[in-house]
Structure formats: structure tokens, C-alpha cells
Amino acid sequence: MFSKNTGIMLYVDDIAAERDFWSAIGFEVFNQSEIMGFETFEMKPHTDSTLTFTVYAKDFIRQVSPEVVDMKPSLLFESADLCSLHERIAAVTDTTSPISTQPFPNFNFANPSGHYFAVRGI
């Protein structure tokens, strides 16, 4: 049986830039460590979230699992305060799209590695 917790692994170019970015937009960053000489960290979108992201350097993944280094998940976050979150993220990156109302209130943004994420209003 699977547990109630879920983990997603993100493979990025610059660990420090990613840590600073995700922290600046409100993620809880924790468990910063080093594996085989490469920095890594974990983060959650909310303190109570059962979803954990583990962020690895692409150079590390090329060494241990080269077949997955270019895989990019398509992730959709949710927010009860879409406008405030949009403002917070737009202050950190110029890749933030305007808020759209179709097919539901949403916007997207990219992290420093160029991966795009969507946010839906709830």
C-alpha cells in the first residue's frame, strides 16, 4: 500500500538559485544536505502539505539516473488567494503570466531552470 505522502523530484541547473526562488515565493525549505558532493534540499508548498519536493542538481542526476534527467512534470498548484500569490511570484520572476479566467482562474510562472508551473484559484 502507498502512504498518504507524495514526493516529486525536480532536477535543476542551480540549486542555490532554486532554493532562493522557492523560498521567496513562500515555500517551506528544509532538509538541506549534500549527496555525493552535490547540494540538495526538500520543500513544501505549505507547512501542512503531505506533498514534498526534493530538488536535485541535474549534474548529480546525470551520474546516478541519466535516463530521467530531462523529465519535467506538469504541476498545478492551488491557491485560495490567487491575486496575492500572483503578486508575490511576479515580484520574484518576470516569467509570471497575467491571471486568466478561462477555463478557470489561473496563471503560470517559470522557476530559474525554466520549468513552468500553473496555479489555479480555488
In a structure prediction context, what are the per-residue pLDDT tens digits for the chain, which is 122 residues long? Answer: 767 888 999 999 999 999 999 999 999 999 999 999 999 999 999 999 999 999 999 999 999 999 999 888 889 999 999 999 999 999 999 999 999 999 899 999 999 999 999 999 99
Q: Topology of 6-121 in CATH?
A: 2,3-Dihydroxybiphenyl 1,2-Dioxygenase; domain 1 (3.10.180)
pTM of the model: 0.87
Where do the structural domains in the chain lie, given as residue ranges? Answer: 6-121
3-state secondary structure the chain: CCCCCEEEEEEECCHHHHHHHHHHCCCEEEEEEEECCEEEEEEECCCCCCEEEEEEEHHHHHHHCHHHCCCCCCCEEEECCHHHHHHHHHCCCCCCCCCECCCCCEEEEECCCCCEEEEEEC
